[in-house]
Structure 1
Amino acid sequence: MKKTATRLADGRELLYYDSRDDAVRDAVDRRPLGATVTASEIRRDPLLGDSVAIASHRQERTYLPPADQCPLCPSHDGRLTEIPAADYEVVVFENRFPSLAGDSGRCEVVCFTSDHDASFADLGPGQAALVLDAWTDRTAELAALPAVEQVFCFENRGREIGVTLAHPHGQIYAYPFVTPRTERMLASAAAHAARTGGRNLFDDTVAQEHADGRRIVLDAEHWTAFVPYAAHWPYEVHLYPRRRVPDLLALDAAARTEFPQVYLELLKRFDRIFGPGQPPTPYVSAWHQAPFRHPERTEFALHLELFTIRRSPGKLKFLAGSESGMNVFINDVPPETAARRLREVASE
């Protein structure tokens, strides 16, 4: 992998990731951009104890432009975009409309491919491996920033999820605090260890899913995927490396090599859940990594959570009163049924 760093016209960092060592990336951003102005602020909720990012400047962000005005496509034929080059493999750049900025953290955009009409599932294994390399590199770089406590790599796909740009892309958030969801996982892991004489919660959870077997979706040599026993979403899959590691940086070569095939297969199955003729399945794909300076980080298990808010053709799972008001999820699809369906739609 070759990484080439440059700056956009307003000073934001942009990074090209190429599979070829002889790739040359010398295009210059010629747009007449002014300095990026952000108004990001972290406020602490005194009742719940969690943090909320207030980012009023995001009201002005680009919203569902037509394909010929996409800011994530390469620059060509006189049309200048966020990527100065006429073509690219994988690109990462600082978000022009970040939720977190300055002392409040950092937000980056990851473009998975220059093909506007593709999706992650359309990528070849080599391209998917390059995206994994980019996620890993950014995790390492952002971890070195003094204010950053946790890095979150994720993809939102589909208008139903709230995507504002159709081009295949994801994001990376570098938080200046440990996220509430991760804090809850770490607290559960500590309680489990105290209750069981030091056993690891993540290891035991994966072992229990293997022992039960009904919710296993895909079992590879270095990765295992299952629908969790208490799945929150209609179709939700958790993907774990067989060797527990705290973050992407610690993945060994064997797991990294196998990941593209496993992940691409899961994404393809998601698009087949609801049968032929249905629109692409909207989803969130989220990497959970250990906080960098947490004393129990080695007890955390890197894993990916992939879920959709579609519960059946034409119907979505809305976070209504119980979920939004009390954070108590009600799932209409039994996890065993979801796992069985995800096995049924495996590639031949």
Structure 2
Amino acid sequence: MNRTRVSDHQTILRHKIAGRDVHRRTFTKRDGRDLFLYGYTPHKLSPLGQDSGEVAKGGELRYHPLRAEWNLYAPHRQNRTFKPSAADDPLAPSVDGGAATEIPFTDFELAIFENKFTSLHAQAPTPPDMEALADTARAQGRCDVVVYSPEATGNLSTIGQDKRRLLIAAWNDRYENLFQAGCQFVMPFENRGDAVGVTLHHPHGQIYAFPFIPAVQKKAAKAFNAGYNLARVMDDAWVDYGVAEAGGMRAFCPPFARFPYEVWIAPRAQKAGPWAFNEDELDGFAHLLGDITRRYDSFFGCETPYMLSLHAAPVGYEKTFHFTAQFYPLLRAPNRIKYLASVEQATGVFTVDVMPEHAANVLKSL
């Protein structure tokens, strides 16, 4: 018998959006996983029927001695939901009398829940000792799914400014709680499109909270600590590499981009993460998230497949780390996929088919 203690309570977040309160309903699902419902009004609907059963408690970490990095092993993810029909959309609101979805309510504004097929978990098992073969560690942490909207279609552009502001407020709330829980690096991200490997097409993103600082972010943190000045680079490169700006935020193609049409969004002044943004910066960030998505779709003539990741300060690097949101589109031209083939995968040395200054000029003109 499932004996999970049900929790259901309302909270008003500390930060308002343009003077409006942001409400969070914290609900424990029957299988023990958390569900957070965010909105401009309190969420008061009664829950419908829910599935219960076993939930993955994460995988394990193994250290790659030649790359100096940790990798996650989570074989249970082979059984995760794969391209369900519209009628079986697990991210849709539940329907009274219908099959249970991940969100047991008939409506919501924005939802975040703990991933059923998680790679990281607070109660991750202790991996077996592999002695001299490889160092191992518990995959402690958290994986959340962020559902942008109850509608089955849409994107960061079409959901509108109010919903993008709500999304950033939800990200900031999860940053705060996950850092308090002891996570060392927290990354909200979005995978979009079949070319990226998306298995659920309902508009959504994810959040991974790591018990360590990944190698890429550790290198960036050390570079900022050593004096790398991204604000100055943006100023110096703006004429040739700038795409758009709003509210103290800039979108630009970095001169050292690895993907064709790669775009970063960053505050003009050094800020550790969006939790440190002022009202204008939050508004500008929300606008540019939608604006860059719109520009991609306009230029490529399709729902552009991309990877979006938010790079905020790992624990201990807040004073020098400069936040960026990084878009990596998977196209090098309309209808032409940028494949990451042998050389890129084996060496980490990317061959970029489009000069960043040309990409900036194209995207700026849209």
Q: Could you tell me the TM-score, scaled by structure 2's length?
A: 0.86
Whole-angstrom CA distance in 1 between matches of 2:268 and 2:230: 11
Equivalent residue, structure 2, for 1:196: none
Letter of the 1:68 partner, please give it: A
Equivalent residue, structure 2, for 1:208: 236
Q: How much has 1:176 moved relative to structure 2?
A: 0.5
Counterparts of 1:46-125 in structure 2 under 5 Å?
Answer: 46-79=65-98, 80-102=100-122, 103=124, 104-125=140-161
Matched, 1:13 2:34: yes
Equivalent residue, structure 2, for 1:126: 162
CA displacement 1:281-332 (0-9 Å, x = unmatched): 011111101012x2x4311011110120111122111111111010000000
Letter of the 2:210 partner, please give it: Y
Q: How much has 1:256 moved relative to structure 2?
A: 1.2
The unaligned stretches of length 5 or more in structure 1 are: 194-199
Asked if structure 2 preserves the Cα contact closer than 8 Å seen for 1:58 and 1:97, the reply is yes
Equivalent residue, structure 1, for 2:44: 24
Q: Which structure carries more helix by proportion?
A: 1
Match among 267, 273, 281 for residue 241 of structure 1: 267
Asked if structure 1 preserves the Cα contact closer than 8 Å seen for 2:245 and 2:284, the reply is no
Equivalent residue, structure 1, for 2:307: 284
Q: How much has 1:39 moved relative to structure 2?
A: 4.5
Equivalent residue, structure 2, for 1:158: 193
Asked if structure 2 preserves the Cα contact closer than 8 Å seen for 1:38 and 1:55, the reply is no
Matched, 1:315 2:327: no
Over the matched positions of the two proteins, sequence identity in percent amounts to: 33
Match among 293, 311, 329 for residue 267 of structure 1: 293
Equivalent residue, structure 2, for 1:181: 216
Whole-angstrom CA distance in 2 between matches of 1:76 and 1:142: 31
Asked if structure 2 preserves the Cα contact closer than 8 Å seen for 1:38 and 1:57, the reply is no
Letter of the 2:64 partner, please give it: D
The unaligned stretches of length 5 or more in structure 2 are: 1-21, 125-139
Asked if structure 2 preserves the Cα contact closer than 8 Å seen for 1:226 and 1:237, the reply is yes
Letter of the 1:59 partner, please give it: Q
Letter of the 1:208 partner, please give it: D
Whole-angstrom CA distance in 1 between matches of 2:55 and 2:247: 46
Q: How much has 1:77 moved relative to structure 2?
A: 4.2
Asked if structure 1 preserves the Cα contact closer than 8 Å seen for 2:143 and 2:209, the reply is yes
Counterparts of 1:213-232 in structure 2 under 5 Å?
Answer: 213-232=239-258
Equivalent residue, structure 2, for 1:33: 52
Whole-angstrom CA distance in 1 between matches of 2:207 and 2:246: 27
Whole-angstrom CA distance in 2 between matches of 1:279 and 1:168: 16
Whole-angstrom CA distance in 1 between matches of 2:344 and 2:295: 27
Q: How much has 1:31 moved relative to structure 2?
A: 2.6
Match among 286, 297, 311 for residue 318 of structure 2: 297
Letter of the 2:284 partner, please give it: E
Whole-angstrom CA distance in 1 between matches of 2:95 and 2:251: 41
Length, aligned pairs only: 328
Partner SS for 1:340: helix
Asked if structure 2 preserves the Cα contact closer than 8 Å seen for 1:16 and 1:25, the reply is no
Whole-angstrom CA distance in 1 between matches of 2:213 and 2:24: 29
Whole-angstrom CA distance in 1 between matches of 2:120 and 2:353: 34
Q: How much has 1:84 moved relative to structure 2?
A: 0.6
Quick check: 227-236 or 278-287, which moved more?
A: 278-287
Whole-angstrom CA distance in 1 between matches of 2:247 and 2:55: 46
Whole-angstrom CA distance in 1 between matches of 2:221 and 2:286: 28
Quick check: 255-264 or 103-112, which moved more?
A: 255-264
1:221–1:5 CA distance, 2 compared to 1 (3 A): closer
Runs of 4+ in 1 over 6 A off after TM superposition: none
Letter of the 2:362 partner, please give it: R
Partner SS for 1:9: coil
1:301–1:25 CA distance, 2 compared to 1 (3 A): farther
Q: How much has 1:78 moved relative to structure 2?
A: 2.1
